[in-house]
Amino acid sequence: MIGFLKGSATAMITPFTESGVNFDAFGKMIEYQIAGGTDALVVLGTTGEPATMTEEEKEALMRYAVKACAGRVKLIFGTGGNNTEKAVRMTKLAEVIGADGILAVTPYYNKCTQNGLIAYYRAICGATKLPVICYNVPSRTGVNILPETMEKIAEIPNMAGIKEASGNMTQVLDTARRIRGKCDLYSGEDALNLPILCAGGTAVISVVSNLAPKAVKELVCAVEACDLKKANELNDRLAPLSKACFVEVNPIPAKAGMAMLGFDAGEPRAPLTPLEEAHATVLRDTMSAFGLEIKA
């Protein structure tokens, strides 16, 4: 299927307290995104640290997000994992709760075959009527969706597209060619937002937009308007911020950056650790140079 997601989507962080999810802080982050023009929120993606959350916490966060957003933006919930049965169960739950779409990362650690990937996505898509986005991030999962495999996955009726974070533009272009007209291509890597959009991507699923939602949305709009001069200017401006947001593994810098903006972002859950002070200085200086108001 094509046309499910267009524009800018933010891969949301999950703010934690010592006792659980900080729903009040999460609600304020939702309002910040909506005010910045974000088109969709991805909850419980990699940036949201779902691997450290209980199923009860995930369900509560999904329910809160639906209530807080109240239909103002699309809500996409991450339900994938390395246990297909559990992924199917969470997908069904997300649909009942009120998701607009599903993000399903490839099974990690298990390192399944390409045929295994096809079976995995067929199982998830078969469990819901919602649009499903597959998420290719081999640097984290240990498995790569090859272009010829994605061509087959794209035939699944409610497969909406692929969030591409392989970092390999040759592969991205091959995938884009194979799926065109069947499902959509989304950028899952901020450093490659511009080239992926120019290759036919219809949306970005961004980490940097946690901090700068308006600028990321403007980049997407510039490409949509075929204003490549403006798009390149915006991309050049965003590039240092994107680099700073990955000075340590995601979402460590993003959470620290949100705290610098005055949000009660909390610390990442173990085994992740707080941002090192030297890196915090780099991030703070980069955010300030970008024009973001540092409050903490």
DSSP assignment of 91-144 equals HHHHHHHT-SEEEEEPPPSS---HHHHHHHHHHHHHT-SS-EEEEE-HHHHS--
Identify residue 167 by its one-letter amino acid code.
Answer: G
For residue 144, the Cα-to-chain-centroid distance in whole angstroms is 17
Which letter does DSSP use for residue 276 in this model?
P
**Angle of CA points 150, 153, 159, to nearest 5°:** 115
Active-site pick, 135, 152, 186, 217: 135
| CA–CA distances in Å: residue 167 to residues 7, 83, 93, 113, 244 | 20, 25, 32, 20, 17
In the structure encoding, which two tokens stand for residue 260, read together? 């610098």
Q: Tell me, yes or no, if 163 is annotated catalytic.
A: yes
In the structure encoding, which two tokens stand for residue 192, read together? 């490659």
Residue 170 CB coordination number (10 Å): 9
Omega of the bond leading into 131 within 30 degrees of 0 (cis): no
- The CA distance from 251 to 207, in Å, is 8
Active-site pick, 58, 74, 152, 163: 163
- The CA distance from 287 to 291, in Å, is 6
Q: Tell me, yes or no, if 135 is annotated catalytic.
A: yes
**80: closest CA among 118, 114, 120, 35?**
120
Which DSSP helix (H) or strand (E) runs through 8? strand 7-11
- List active site positions: 135, 163
